[in-house]
Amino acid sequence: MNLAFLRKTKSPAQPLVRDHEVAGRSLPLRIVENDRATRLTLRIAAGGTGLRITVPPGVSQSEVDRFLERHRGWLEQRLAKVPEQPTVRPGIKVPVRGVPHLIVHEPGKRGMAETARTEDGPVLIVHGDIRHLPRRVADFLKREARREIEVLVAKHTATIGRRAKSVRFKDTTSRWGSCTSDGALSFSWRIAMAPGTVIDYLVAHEVAHLIEMNHGPKFWKLCKELCLRTDEAKAWLKRNGSALQAIGFG
């Protein structure tokens, strides 16, 4: 099947989607035709939840298949580092500021999710109907992220003498944070699962963009001035970020 033919029957913006078996998993594969592409490029979605291939116009399905086969080893190696998507439920552990907390469901009580310490270690107690447990855990992490990040934004912006236009929280899969040219900061609330040092680094990173809208030497110098453990935190996020993105709250 030639992808050029698909444009006659589908909108050009609509990708071809199919399942692809690799590393013992069946992952959704999106094949996106781009008029500006000069070669095939392959990308793994955050958390290993899917694959995306961008192709130039006219690339055949068989050529896509050959491209995937050539990169099978690379895919298997990368996916081996990403666990299968775990779904939040009672009995599993979810990290809060880098510390694993066992999820305990107490349906007979009301109120927001809360942490506690037991003889067996830290727990995250979730009340109410079991059907709402994943959402309640997500809501807890959103509150934790907002509470900590807003304090850090105030601290780091005061240090550099700049103000953030706004601070927003999203569940993004492609990046942990962003800073617009007019000073709006956005953060993934999932960062609340990372250690405090990593949260501080992420905020310092985006605040530094209020002055340096790039990743040049001046940017990294400022970032390290705001967060002394930038290199350590950056490395932690590179090693563990995909696992946090893979946790399912749906």
The domain of 170 spans 136-246
Q: pTM of whole model > 0.75? A: no
Does residue 140 share a domain with residue 74?
Answer: no
Of 57, 80, 103, the residue at which a domain comes to its end is 80
> Does residue 89 surpass a pLDDT of 60?
yes
Is the pLDDT assigned to residue 12 strictly greater than 50? no
In a domain, 128, yes or no: no
Q: SS3 of 9, please?
A: helix
Whole-Å CA distances, 12 to 55, 125, 140: 12, 48, 40
Q: Is 76 part of a structural domain of the chain? A: yes
Of 58, 80, 102, the residue that ends a domain is: 80
Question: Confidence class of residue 125 from pLDDT cuts 50, 70 and 90?
Answer: very high
Count of structural domains within the chain:
2
Model confidence at 81: pLDDT above 90: no
Give the model's confidence band at 84: pLDDT under 50 very low, under 70 low, under 90 confident, else very high: low
Distances in Å between the Cα of 159 and the Cα atoms of 41, 165, 207, 209 are: 41, 16, 10, 13
Residue 108 is predicted with a pLDDT of 86
Query: Is residue 210 in some structural domain?
Result: yes
Give the pLDDT score at 15.
73
The CATH number of the domain holding residue 219 is 3.30.2010.10
129-185: per-residue pLDDT in tens?
Answer: 999 999 999 999 999 999 999 999 999 999 999 999 999 999 987 689 999 999 999
Say if 111 falls within a structural domain: no
Average pLDDT over residues 222-244: 93
- Looking at 32, 60, 80, the residue that finishes a domain is 80
Residue 184 in any domain: the answer is: yes
Residue 105: inside a domain, yes or no? Answer: no
> Is residue 51 over pLDDT 70?
yes
| pLDDT score of 82 more than 80 | no
Residues 143 and 60 in one domain: no
Owner of token pair 């590393």: 23
Task: Say if 231 falls within a structural domain.
Answer: yes
Report yes or no on 197 lying in a domain: yes
